[in-house]
Structure 1
Amino acid sequence: MLNLIAAASFFLLIHLAVSGTRVRDALVGRLGANAYMGLFSLVSVAGLVWLGFAFAGAREAIDGAPIWSMSAVTHGLQFLLQMVAVLFVVVGLATPNPTSVRQETVLDRPQSVQGVLRITRHPFLWGVALWALGHLLVNGDPASLILFGSMLALALFGTASIDAKRRRALGGKWDQFAAQTSNIPFLAVAQGRQRLDLGEIGAWRILAAVVVWIGLTLAHPFLFGVGVLY
């Protein structure tokens, strides 16, 4: 379990204490943007691999009943949350977004706020947050609490971290974009700062998300040893 705690702490640390802070700015200034991105990507992959193996080892070592177990209600909620999570992730990755890596030039377009960005400027991270929350509902063992809890924290705090990083780098252009969008899904729409236009999302993005969701659902028992449909 200590190995899992260390892995989760490391993964959180490199993203929240380095990637979105002035530490990153200093490293980019010293190493250059390309070298920093390459090094950070390598460290992130290594941290993710460590986290995966540590989680598997911790679950095998745990002996005893979980803090809570899956019920019919939480199973249904988890199923729905994963649908929405995959939708946010896939559509978010397929939509030009100035919060994404090396896509800051989106702000130079006449209309930078389109599609899912009208709902939230961080669709990918909110997808990760919903994915983690859904898994927490049905996995009450300590190892799962550490893994999915850390992913939930990373996704939620990561949105604020990215906002701060973009504000430092882009100044007024970012402020204008942020004024038209919201971090929390649908908040800008509810406040009248943005209008909802589902047609802008694009049918092909939604179809791609559905295909990915079906694929993950069917492959889940083979990849992770746990069925989703039962």
Structure 2
Amino acid sequence: MLQLVLASAAFLLLHLWVSGTPLRDRLVARLGEGAYLGLFSLASVAILVWMLAAYGGARSAGYNPTWWGPTPLTQHVQLVLMLVAFLLIVPGVMARNPGAVGQTGALQDPDPVRGILRVTRHPFLWGVGIWAGGHLLVNGDLISLILFGSLGVLAIGGAASIDAKRRRVYGETWAGFEAKSSFVPFAAILSGRQTLRPGEFALPALVGLAVYVATLLGHPLIAGVPALG
């Protein structure tokens, strides 16, 4: 349990403190952008592996109080949330996004807000946040609260951190991108600043649907428990 707490805390600190504050700017100035991103990526992967290993160890350790579990209703709700999550995560990964690592050059595109970015400028992170929330809906045990809660906080907090970081570095250029997009999904569309054009991300959405189905079927191999009751 202690290892899971430490790993989760380290993951949050790495992304919200090291990457999300002016400390990042000082590290980039000293190391260079490429070296910083390489070290940051290695640290992220290493800590994530630590988290998952610690989660597996905590599951078999014995002490794991549970406050709620799945019900027929919450299981159905979770399946819907997982579909929404994958329809954000996969198109988000496939999109050219100024908010993603190494893609800030997209700010110079004539129309940087395209496809899934019309829904939100942080589709991948919102998808991870919804994925984490869906798992918390049906997993009310302590170690799940630590793991999925940390990932959910990181996803939404990380999206806000990216906005602050890009605003600090790119100023009015990023402000223009923000004005044409939205942090909260569908907010720009509902306010009339954007229009939903499904054709722009139809193929990524189909890929996301395929990954969703494959994950449902393969969940016993991936996580050791069936996703379909």
The TM-score bracket by the shorter chain reads: over 0.9
Alignment of 1:1-230 (within 5 A): 1-63=1-63, 66-201=66-201, 203-230=202-229
Question: For structure 2, which runs of at least 5 residues remain unmatched after alignment?
Answer: none
- Give 1:2's aligned amino acid: L
Query: Is the partner of 2:182 in helix, strand or coil?
Result: coil
1:65 Cα deviation from its structure 2 partner = 5.2
RMSD in angstroms over aligned alpha carbons? 1.0
Cα distance between partner residues in 2 of 1:220 and 1:185: 27
What letter is aligned with 1:17? Answer: W
Compute the displacement of 1:35 (Å).
Answer: 0.6
Deviation of residue 130 (structure 1)?
A: 0.6
Whole-angstrom distance in 1 between the partners of 2:210 and 2:78: 18
Identity of aligned residues (%): 52
Residues paired across the two proteins, number: 229
Letter in 1 for 2:220: P
User: C-alpha deviations, 1:92-141, integer Å up to 9, x for none?
Assistant: 11111100011111111111111111110000000000100000011111
| C-alpha distance after superposition, 1:139-162 (max 9, x if no partner) | 111000000000110011111100
Distance 1:186 1:204 in 2: 20
Q: What is the CA deviation profile of residues 65-109 of structure 1, one whole-angstrom value per residue up to 9, with x for unaligned ones?
A: 511011001100111111110110000111111000111111111
Q: Is residue 90–residue 204 contact of structure 2 (8 Å, CA) maintained in 1?
A: yes
TM-score (norm 1): 0.97
One-letter amino acid of the structure 2 residue matched with residue 144 of structure 1: S
Greater shift in the superposed pair: 188-197 or 178-187: 188-197
In 2, Cα distance between equivalents of 1:152 and 1:42? 21
CA distance change for structure 1 residues 98 and 62 in 2, over 3 Å: closer, same or farther? same
Query: TM-score under structure 2 normalisation?
Result: 0.97
Alpha-carbon deviation of 1:225? 1.0
CA contact (8 A) 2:219 2:226 kept: yes
User: What are the superposed Cα offsets for residues 153-180 of structure 1, whole Å, 9 maximum, x if unpaired?
Assistant: 0011111100011111111110101011
Counterpart CA distance in 2 for 1:173 and 1:207 is 32
Unaligned runs of 5+ in 1: none
Give the whole-Å Cα distance in 2 for the aligned partners of 1:49 and 1:103.
Answer: 25
Distance in 1 between residues matched to 2:172 and 2:179, nearest whole Å: 10
